[in-house]
Amino acid sequence: SAQIADLQQKLLDADNGDRAKQRWDSIATILEAKCALKYLLGELVSSKVQESKLQSGLEQSQASCSDVQKMLMEERNHIAELETAFQNQILVQEQQHQEKVNRSSWK
């Protein structure tokens, strides 16, 4: 039954495509041509508006992505600085401990 439904849908789609083609092929008067042209221009304007909205959305997304990448880089740098400070602190503590051990062994 799923295959039958799929085939029926394909037939409907093909029939709609044929109807659209027949409409364009059957334009016989200037008035019909003007109406078709008016429709096509409306579709063009609609497409251009949609393209503009999508382009604007893309630009905003790219700007957001750039901001997030910048923040990520700053955080990575901050983490690297913290790691360096932590390693230095460990080194100082190890040296202090070694000095204490050395002083204890001299006593």
Q: CB neighbours of 33 closer than 8 A, spacing ≥ 6?
A: 27
pLDDT in tens, 22-40: 667 777 788 888 888 898 8
pTM: 0.52
What is the spatial distance between Cα 85 and Cα 97, in angstroms, rounded to a whole number?
18
Domain boundaries of the chain, sorted by first residue: 2-106
Query: Which pLDDT tens digit goes with each residue over 38-59?
Result: 988 999 999 999 999 999 999 9
In this model, does residue 18 exceed pLDDT 90? no
Give pLDDT tens digits for 55-94.
999 999 999 999 999 999 999 999 999 999 999 999 999 9
